[in-house]
A and B are shown apart, each in its own frame.
Chain A
Amino acid sequence: SQQGEEDPQALSIQEGENATMNCSYKTSINNLQWYRQNSGRGLVHLILIRSNEREKHSGRLRVTLDTSKKSSSLLITASRAADTASYFCATDSRSNDYKLSFGAGTTVTVRA
């Protein structure tokens, strides 16, 4: 069964607002990654966070990781129309750090 599940399934916000999406997973991990997928394109890597890290930033992106709750969040600040995409979390497992498991993603629509 899939390891990571994103929530909500879909999110619609106004340009300039922040977007927050969550990822929950079932078993202990070594690493968690976030990806973006624009319509009709492949996934693009955004951020990797290790199990001993609690927060990472990259530009307008902020990722948190709470291993006690087995969850992660991705925050996009000051959203732009170009942020419209699907966002996926991907996790490994402690027993297998060669395989990433993806969820079905959160579809974010940023309205101009």
Chain B
Amino acid sequence: DTAVSQTPKYLVTQMGNDKSIKCEQNLGHDTMYWYKQDSKKFLKIMFSYNNKELIINETVPNRFSPKSPDKAHLNLHINSLELGDSAVYFCASSQTGNSNQPQHFGDGTRLSIL
């Protein structure tokens, strides 16, 4: 069974549209994350939730809204998509959220804005 799974794997859409990416982890972890990886492979944290509570909210446009219905799920909704949103978005989880724990990543959602 996949530990961290995110859907869809690919997302191609027009500028201005609204889209969602879903993430689920079956590891029993308390903390989940969203990262954005740009074309140069630079990986940047966007959000982190611990037991459904937002604990990290980096400087991300408010067009991006995370939602955690329970600690096993963290979804990302993006409004009014822009060309600069094209990237690979990774979901990850860790046991407690502390940096002394490894993070487990999904295989990414490749978002392309036309």
Interface residues of chain A, those whose CB is within 8 Å of chain B, are 2, 30-31, 33, 37, 40-45, 48, 50, 86, 88, 92, 97-105, 107
Contact = CB atoms under 8 A, between A and B. Distances in A.
B103 A45 contact: yes
Contacts of A45: 102-104
Interface residues of B, number: 24
Contacts of B92: 42-43
A98 B97 contact: yes
Interface stretch (B43-51, B65-73, B77-85): B43-51
B100 A31 contact: yes
Specify the main secondary structure of chain A where it touches its partner: strand
20 contacts: A30-B99, A40-B107, A42-B4, A43-B43, A43-B90, A43-B103, A43-B105, A45-B102, A45-B104, A48-B100, A86-B41, A92-B99, A99-B48, A100-B45, A100-B99, A102-B35, A102-B43, A104-B41, A105-B43, A107-B41
Nearest to B96: A98
A37 B107 CA distance: 10
A98 B56 CA distance: 8
B98 interface: yes
Contacts of A86: 41
Interface of B: 4, 35, 40-45, 48, 55-56, 90, 92, 97-100, 102-108
A42 B106 contact: yes
Given A48-B102, A104-B40, A107-B41, 9 more contacts: A2-B42, A2-B44, A31-B99, A42-B4, A42-B92, A42-B107, A99-B48, A99-B99, A104-B42
Contacts of B55: 98
A102 B100 contact: no
B108 A99 contact: no
A98 B48 contact: yes
A26 B102 CA distance: 21
